[in-house]
Amino acid sequence: MKSWLDTSLGFFYPNLCQICRSQQATAREGYVCAGCRQGVHLIKEPYCERCGLPYEGEITTRFECSNCREMQLHFKSARAAVAAEGVVLDVIHRYKYRRALWFEPFLAELLVRQAAPVLQSTHWNFIVPVPLHPLKQREREFNQARRLARHLSAATKIPLNCSLIKRALPTRTQTLLTRSERTANVRRAFAVNRGSTLDGERIVLVDDVLTTGATTSACAEILEKNGAGEVCVWTVARGT
């Protein structure tokens, strides 16, 4: 499969980094070269124990950030692989909004490298991608959360469940909204699909970026109301 991907993409794109366009990079690397990868900042402790927001300096005790203290978040914890800045932010925007799917191996690699060891250390029943509304999915032609979740499921052997929840209401993009507006925007936006049942299952929600956590919290709330035992969140990137 990887050999076929390299060959097919290589037919249309030279082995050239699609960020700096000066260094060599292959389809398997998501066309991001080693030099550009040096601008990627992995998220490491210390960070907020609830939403994973990283902090600089020496913090030796567990803590929750002011965002989490002010919001009623329904997931138990959220973690991200890298900071949503520089190269990563550019790649995510081009991947989502300009359909630059050749970046997917790069983004999936970041997510899997950080999330898989953590998730494999305990038991989880399902990986569930944050759904798009059908109108948005037709416009974008794909759901980036679903594609990234597929990679994480394959790496961890945790079953992927794309039919558990749906986006019942179309919403505005969260990008330019304030924290309170984001929460209001996704309130009642999600629903469990008819016929789906839960009985204490532990669920991993997957999305591309987490900022305030409003979207993933709304998903977690509907899952918990319908029987999920615990919900955690993993994203590629963490915004501020």
What is the DSSP code string of 34-103? HHHHTT--B--SSB-TTT--B--S---S----HHHHHS---SSEEEEEEESSHHHHHHHHHHHHS--GGG
Q: Judge if 149 and 232 occupy the same domain.
A: yes
Q: Are residues 45 and 155 in the same domain?
A: yes
b/e per residue 34-56 (b: at least 16 CB within 10 A) = eebbeebbebeebbbbbbbbbee
CATH number for the domain spanning 59: value is 3.40.50.2020
Q: Of residues 108 and 63, which shows the higher confidence score?
A: 108
**Token pair 């203290």 is at which residue?**
69
- Indicate whether 156 and 171 sit together in one domain: yes
Residue 27: Cβ-neighbour burial (10 angstroms; 0-12, 13-18, 19+)? buried
Same domain, 47 and 146: yes
Q: Percentage of residues in the chain with pLDDT exceeding 70?
A: 90
- Please tell me whether residues 120 and 17 are part of one structural domain: no
Is 24 in the same domain as 118? no
Q: Give yes or no: residues 123 and 99 share one domain.
A: yes
- What confidence tens digit (pLDDT) does each residue in 97-139 have? 999 999 999 999 999 999 999 999 999 999 999 999 988 899 8
Three-state secondary structure call for residue 14: coil
Q: Is 106 found in the same domain as 7?
A: no
Let me know whether 125 and 218 are in one domain: yes
SS3 content of the chain, % helix, strand, coil (to 5): 40, 15, 45
pLDDT(37) > 70? yes
Higher pLDDT, 240 or 158: 158
Domain co-membership, 138 together with 223: yes
Q: Give 68-99 pLDDT, tens digit per residue.
A: 888 889 999 999 999 999 999 999 999 999 99
Q: Examine the domain organization and report whether 89 and 195 are in the same domain.
A: yes
Domain count of the chain?
2
**What's residue 177's pLDDT?**
66
- Are residues 103 and 211 located together in one domain of the fold? yes
Q: What is the pLDDT of residues 133-169, one digit of tens each?
A: 988 899 889 999 999 999 999 999 999 999 999 998 7
How far apart (Å, rounded) are the C-alpha atoms in residues 26 and 154?
A: 22
pLDDT level of residue 8 (50, 70, 90 thresholds): low
Q: Which residue has the higher pLDDT, 55 or 182?
A: 55
Question: Whole domain around residue 26: which residue ranges?
Answer: 1-38
Residue 218 near residue 165 (C-beta atoms within 8 A): no
Cβ-proximal residues to 58 (8 Å cutoff; 6+ apart), any chain: 46
pLDDT on residue 7: 54
